[in-house]
Amino acid sequence: MTITLLGVPYDGSSSFLRGAAGGPAALRAALRSESSNSWNEDEQDVLPLLEDAGDLALAGITDPRPLIEARVDTLMRSGATPLLIGGDHSITWPIVRAVRRQLPRLTILHLDAHPDLYDALDGDRGSHGSPFARIMEEGLANQLVQCGIRTINQHQRDQAHRFGVEIHTMRSGIEAMIAAARRLEGPVYLSLDLDILDPAHAPGISHPEPGGLSTREVIRIVQAIPLGRLVAADLVELNPVNDVRDLTARVGAKLVKEIVGRL
């Protein structure tokens, strides 16, 4: 199996702060930093397992979605397993489009402070606050399981009911989230927004939302995904402009290593 790491340096659909376009470069630097080694908790050396395809060339492109979809489609058709690093959360919609094209069914595990189910945010249906509304409208997922949510409003609650989303808010507790991950039926796509973490653990994000999970708790959820179920993943919303001593980039690199263990 080839796990292909692909960066998507795009933040044009961010609603509050820009800067997530610098996420792929910051995460790669942390992943290769000599401050740590490249092994994960499954005792695998991760770097030899990753084929780094670099970043998509998005300079001057207004709408990157067709390019993202086409590149991931090529990876899937070649038999590679895509691991995308962003970039804002809007990139998940075209990624999932390409992944689902090769699969008869798909379950999505979405780890985030926000449900990202807006029909449109600030008038933008392609916003990073809307990817899962688009995904569910298009029937790209048979099941959407969301964990870590702590900002849901009435509109997004209505959307969740409309699409039959299984939501585990922070008030559900970490054990409920781990149990949900263990129950996932494959194939599974993981979308991990770093703002699922409490800002104390991940300051380098655009939408810090207090009351989130610790780094260890997010790792526990990832490690609870049954082996053989995960077929692709993304990690998004690292904003190095807001980071402190590269702490969030290092957390992101740690999570990439643990995701590889599941892939």
Model pLDDT, residue 61: 86
Whether the ω angle into residue 87 lies within 30 degrees of 0, i.e. cis, is yes
Residue 144 confidence (pLDDT) above 80: yes
86: CB partners within 8 A, 6+ apart: 7, 8, 9, 10, 20, 23, 24, 234, 235, 236, 237, 238
Model pLDDT, residue 21: 94
Model pLDDT, residue 8: 97
Residues 111-127, mean pLDDT to the nearest whole number: 87
pLDDT band at 12 (very low <50, low <70, confident <90, very high): confident
Alpha carbon distance, N-terminus to C-terminus of the chain: 9
Angle between helix axes 215-224 and 174-182 (nearest 10 degrees) is 20
Residue 184 confidence (pLDDT) above 70: yes
Residues 140-146, mean pLDDT to the nearest whole number: 98
Model pLDDT, residue 13: 73
Looking at residue 150, which CATH number applies to its domain? 3.40.800.10
Residue 20 confidence (pLDDT) above 90: yes
Residue 123 confidence (pLDDT) above 90: no
Structure confidence by residue, pLDDT tens digits, 56-115: 999 888 899 999 999 999 999 999 999 999 999 999 999 999 999 999 999 999 999 999
pLDDT band at 126 (very low <50, low <70, confident <90, very high): low
Four-CA torsion 111, 40, 24, 228, nearest 10 degrees = -60
pLDDT band at 124 (very low <50, low <70, confident <90, very high): confident
User: Mean pLDDT for the chain?
Assistant: 95
Residue 226 confidence (pLDDT) above 70: yes
pLDDT band at 14 (very low <50, low <70, confident <90, very high): confident
Give me the domain span that covers residue 118.
3-262
Model pLDDT, residue 232: 98
Scanning the chain, the segments in alpha helix (DSSP H) are: 23-31, 65-77, 92-101, 131-137, 154-163, 174-182, 215-224, 247-262
Residue 141 confidence (pLDDT) above 90: yes
229: CB partners within 8 A, 6+ apart: 184, 185, 186, 187, 188, 262
10 Å Cβ neighbour count for 176? Answer: 13
* Number of domains composing the chain: 1
Residues 167-195, mean pLDDT to the nearest whole number: 97
Least confident of 9-18, 32-41, 170-179, 225-234: 9-18
Which residue is listed with tokens 């980071």? 243
pTM tops 0.75, yes or no: yes
